[in-house]
Structure 1
Amino acid sequence: MATNDQLKALVKSHADRDDPQFYSVAMQVAAKAARSGQERFSQELRDMVDELRRKSVQSTRIATVVPVSQPRGELASLLSVTYPDARLSDLALADDVSDRLRHLLLEQRRRGDLARHGLSPVRRMLLVGPPGTGKTSTAKVIAGELRLPLFAIRLDTIITKFMGETAAKLRLIFDALAETQGVYLFDEVDALAGDRTAGNDVGEIRRVLNSFLQFLEEETSESVIVAATNHPELLDKAMFRRFESVVSFPLPDEDAVRAVIKNRLANFRLSNLGWKRIISSARGLSHAEITVAAENAAKRTVLAGDAQIRTDDLVSALEDRRRTTFHGDETRKP
């Protein structure tokens, strides 16, 4: 049976509406029961938790779609919504990036504990780094891990030549953000938050940026805001102050190269691969580019009627990506 501490933890997590913690403790009780020989009770409890989790996901989706998609017709053109099932284990990130992402998820899951001490979880993350290094995938993972919808903001439909219209559209986004809990992704945010001191800047763009900064400053929702950029040097300095966490995404190191390839080619035999040659060929490529190369090598393997990935095929695919990626881009040559 459950220990006193487990019973208290169940009651506490229920009071805090902390479903992940509630399920975790319930599964601990089930495991303890199994070890005590209560196999039937243990299985029944596991089945109950699985069913509750399934219903929770369904109810969350129903509750979040209605207020966002129905009340304002224009909002549908400003947001696209998905329900990712991505998990942190799906990403091959640098250790420090993974650690910071885990900590954000922990704070979100234990927001009740923080609130009792007058603290709030991290809700705003600014992700910076080269294209293809996992920034957008990280937003999907946050949504998937927290079982929240992912709302991608369509900046191309928000930014217009009329500042008043742009500010009004931003207000719609932040109203939705407060009304419907989710993960809200502002990708390529430098288009909206460029440096106000830049010589080629105009007054209209400065006013748009000021509105965006003001909305960020004033919002107090429970949603998670993720902004991403490939060009942090273009961002206004005030943007960095509006985000509790600024995370840099580097190009993959040797361990990350291995992890990306192994994750993508998990259904193939990878024995006897020449990792030294592979890692050398992958140097300077992003996670996304290595993934594409791995897929191309896999296609060659399938069409050859084999299940063993060959080093030569993988190296050739990586070299093709290098030629494509670095052609005409002297700044990225390793």
Structure 2
Amino acid sequence: MARADLLLDLVQAERMGDKDRFRVLVEAVIAEERANQHHLLADRLSEIITTSGKGAARDDRAAAMRDLVEEIVPRKTLDELELAPIPGRVIAEIVEEQKRSELLRSYGIEPRNRILLSGPPGNGKTSVAEAIATELMLPLYVIRYEGVVSSFLGETAARLDSAFEFARSRRCVFFFDELDTIAKERADEHETGEIKRVVSTLLLQIDRLPAHVVLVGATNHSELLDRAAWRRFQVRAELEAPSRAQATKYLEDLAGRFGGDLGFAPRTLADKLAGASFAELEEFALDVRRRAVLQLPDTDLRTIVKERVEHWRSQAAE
């Protein structure tokens, strides 16, 4: 966070209407935050004070690591997600603990920073990781398995070490989607010695991870995870397919976001699309609005919805 004297000067310049000095001070804040590796905050401040929306140069180290980790600019917020009460509470607690980490440390307590998300695909695991990064105003780094996993003996573990070394050096959210790819149960007799070495490396690196790095793991198959890897996560949340009430609420939100109704009442649509994931509901709503726009001015919304419902059901039955 920027120095107190800099913030005081910034507020004073704004109150006095000194736009030039205000801009200079904001630029000083941007430089300080970038020096502290708070690149997402620095970029957002740059976008606010520039007309082009282009900030200063990004993290050079992140560019050098792009084969192992991918940086994603987070957009989603927790308020945009439809979460069941228990997962919603524990995820909000993680965010609060990270935001108020200094208070916790003054009492000798570290904030929790490792959360495992499990459940069927399409129900928000990636979105939760993105929302955590947004709420904390931190960059989101996603592990790239195609860059980490190698056919050469020992190479995968070495690359994994490099990725973790990169993450430890900055405040960030570090996301492992499909964690079971490299954290498989070591007791499985079908697994090779190499994957067992990779899992051991992963466990060691997780243990060494500082509290300022939020590690988010996601898996569709929690039963495949090594038990020791599973225990490394302080918080575990199951993200299940939406209930009828959740699907109804989400369809209402989607109709508002896409700028129009969806042909039927959200509750009726929720019944017709029973069993759909959040991702499938979003894609359905977007598909309906897309066809509605393309058929203007003679749009028959109810016919579009009926056709799309039949198509979704046929795919779900396959």
CA distance 1:64–1:167, change in 2 (3 Å)? farther
Is residue 119–residue 221 contact of structure 2 (8 Å, CA) maintained in 1?
yes
Match of residue 63, structure 2, among 44, 64, 69: 69
CA distance in 2, matches of 1:68, 1:233: 33
8 A Cα contact 2:73 2:139, kept in partner: yes
Cα-to-partner distance string for 1:286-334 (whole Å, 9 max, x where unaligned): 111111111111122223326999455335423422322341xxxxxxx
Unaligned runs of 5+ in 2: 34-40, 45-54
Residue 180, structure 1, aligned to residue 199, structure 2:
no
Aligned-residue offset at 1:76: 2.3
1:40-119 maps to which residues of 2 (within 5 A)?
A: 55=30, 57-58=41-42, 65-70=59-64, 75-119=65-109
TM-score normalized with structure 2 length: 0.79
Distance 1:258 1:179, change over 3 A: same
1:165, CA displacement in angstroms?
Answer: 0.8
**1:283 pairs with 2:267:** no
Kindly report which structure 2 residues correspond to 1:227-238, keeping only aligned pairs within 5 A, or say none.
227-238=217-228
Q: Are 2:112 and 1:131 aligned?
A: no
> Aligned pair 1:270/2:288, yes or no?
no
Opposite residue 96 of structure 1, the aligned amino acid is I
1:129-174 Cα offsets, whole Å, 9 max, x none, are: 1111010111111111111111111012211123411111011011
Instruction: Give 1:1-334 correspondences, 5 Å limit.
Output: 55=30, 57-58=41-42, 65-70=59-64, 75-266=65-256, 267-270=258-261, 273-305=264-296, 310-311=301-302, 313-327=304-318
For 1:259 and 1:101, locate their aligned partners in 2 and report how far apart those are by CA, in whole Å. Answer: 20
Q: Is the 8 Å Cα contact of residues 183 and 223 (structure 1) preserved in structure 2? A: yes
Mapped to 2, the partners of 1:42 and 1:129 lie a distance apart of 53
Which shifted more, 210-219 or 295-304? Answer: 295-304
Q: Extract unaligned runs of 5+ from structure 1.
A: 1-12, 28-39, 328-334
Shift of 1:63: 9.0
Give the aligned CA root-mean-square deviation in angstroms.
3.4
How far 1:96 sits from its partner (Å)? 2.1
Say if 2:129 and 2:175, in contact at 8 Å, map to a contact too. yes
The aligned residue for residue 36 of structure 1 is none
